[in-house]
């Protein structure tokens, strides 16, 4: 199955957004999920790129893990042109008119992206696809998410548990598998998932609605998968092309992930 990172590439974001606007059907959820109208996941934000003379676009998702540190995926942070401005917003609705542009009244918090120095160097077994955005100022009034203990996903209980994916990315409410079933992401949504498999650096989760699961899609990269106790056990990285069957996420309960994060959390 063809797989690709779940962000819209910075240099093609305008074209991709326009394409989704043409093909979108009725808006559903983060695939078969629920809008976060009650603010249950207020510490999950959208990564936004402001493109000169064009506008601001949602590209990825992240989670506040310290007052000024947003956890995300490395592939969301590489290849951004110098004249594009990176920001984060924790507003629950970012594109109310669903025109593909982040609304002018959305609060954007400027920050600097830091990809893992070994990103894409470890082969398929470990892509080091973890990064952070360090905000220019701490965020007030937003709860900080916890990280899991080392090896938290290796237990039998963890492998049989349910997890919650959260993001601002493309949405789906149809079980058909093609691109025409995808709609633009425009608000924070969440969905429940069960685990298919756990390996050294990765956890794969089901997003098959036939088994009661939702999942993630384009624009949800870097977003969290929460355990029942509120820890970010993994972040969204990739999945099947049409966001229909599986999520492949990078584990946060490993030494590699937590050693990278440690300097930013002091």
pLDDT in tens, 68-77: 999 999 999 9
Let me know: does 42 contact 147? Beta carbons within 8 Å.
no
Average pLDDT across the chain, whole number = 88
**What is the average per-residue pLDDT within 207-231?**
93
The yes-or-no verdict on residue 26 having pLDDT over 90 is: no
What span, in angstroms and rounded, lies between the C-alpha atoms of 97 and 117?
38
pLDDT confidence of residue 17: 36
What global pTM score does this model have? Answer: 0.90
Report residue 196 as tokens. Answer: 């298919």
Of 45-54, 56-65, 170-179, the range with the lowest mean pLDDT is: 170-179
Domain carrying residue 79: 1-266
**What is the average per-residue pLDDT within 162-181?**
80
The yes-or-no verdict on residue 111 having pLDDT over 60 is: yes
Higher pLDDT, 241 or 257: 257
Burial of 160 (0-12, 13-18, 19+ CB in 10 A): exposed
What span, in angstroms and rounded, lies between the C-alpha atoms of 127 and 21?
32
Residue appearing with tokens 């992206």: 113
pLDDT confidence of residue 178: 62
The band of 32, judged by pLDDT with boundaries at 50, 70 and 90, is confident
**What is the average per-residue pLDDT within 191-212?**
94
pLDDT confidence of residue 173: 64
**What is the average per-residue pLDDT within 202-223?**
93
Higher pLDDT, 187 or 182: 187
Number of folded domains that form the chain = 1
What span, in angstroms and rounded, lies between the C-alpha atoms of 19 and 33?
23
The band of 212, judged by pLDDT with boundaries at 50, 70 and 90, is confident
Neighbours of 206 (CB within 10 A): 19
Task: Provide Rg for the chain, Cα atoms.
Answer: 17
CATH number at residue 11: 2.40.10.10
Interior angle at CA 121, CA 198 and CA 147, nearest 5: 45
The yes-or-no verdict on residue 27 having pLDDT over 50 is: no
**What is the average per-residue pLDDT within 46-75?**
98
| Portion of the chain with pLDDT greater than 70, in percent | 86
pLDDT confidence of residue 177: 58
What span, in angstroms and rounded, lies between the C-alpha atoms of 160 and 158?
5
Let me know: does 73 contact 131? Beta carbons within 8 Å.
yes
The yes-or-no verdict on residue 120 having pLDDT over 70 is: yes
**What is the average per-residue pLDDT within 190-211?**
94
The band of 181, judged by pLDDT with boundaries at 50, 70 and 90, is low
The yes-or-no verdict on residue 1 having pLDDT over 70 is: no
């Amino acid at each position: 199955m063809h797989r690709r990172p779940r962000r819209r590439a910075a240099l093609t974001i305008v074209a991709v957004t326009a394409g989704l606007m043409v093909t979108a059907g009725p808006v559903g959820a983060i695939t078969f999920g629920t809008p976060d109208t009650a603010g249950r996941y207020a510490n999950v934000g959208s990564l936004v790129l402001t493109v000169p003379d064009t506008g601001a676009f949602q590209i990825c998702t992240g989670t506040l893990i310290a007052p000024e540190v947003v956890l995300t995926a490395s592939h969301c942070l590489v290849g951004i042109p110098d004249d594009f401005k990176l920001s984060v917003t924790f507003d629950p609705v970012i594109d109310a008119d669903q025109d593909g542009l982040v609304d002018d009244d959305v609060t954007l918090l400027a920050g600097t992206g830091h990809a893992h120095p070994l990103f894409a160097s470890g082969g398929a077994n470990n892509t080091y696809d973890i990064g952070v955005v360090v905000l220019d100022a701490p965020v007030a009034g937003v709860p900080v998410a916890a990280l899991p203990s080392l090896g938290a996903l290796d237990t039998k209980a963890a492998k049989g548990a349910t997890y919650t994916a959260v993001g601002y990315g493309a949405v789906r409410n149809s079980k058909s598998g093609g691109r025409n079933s995808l709609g633009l992401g425009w608000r924070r949504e969440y969905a429940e998932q069960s685990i298919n498999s756990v390996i050294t650096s990765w956890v794969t989760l089901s997003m098959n609605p036939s088994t009661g699961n939702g999942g993630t899609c384009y624009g949800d990269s870097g977003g969290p998968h929460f355990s029942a106790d509120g820890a970010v056990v993994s972040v969204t990285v990739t999945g099947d092309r049409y966001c229909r069957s599986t999520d492949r996420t990078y584990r946060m309960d490993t030494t590699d992930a937590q050693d990278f994060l440690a300097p930013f959390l002091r």
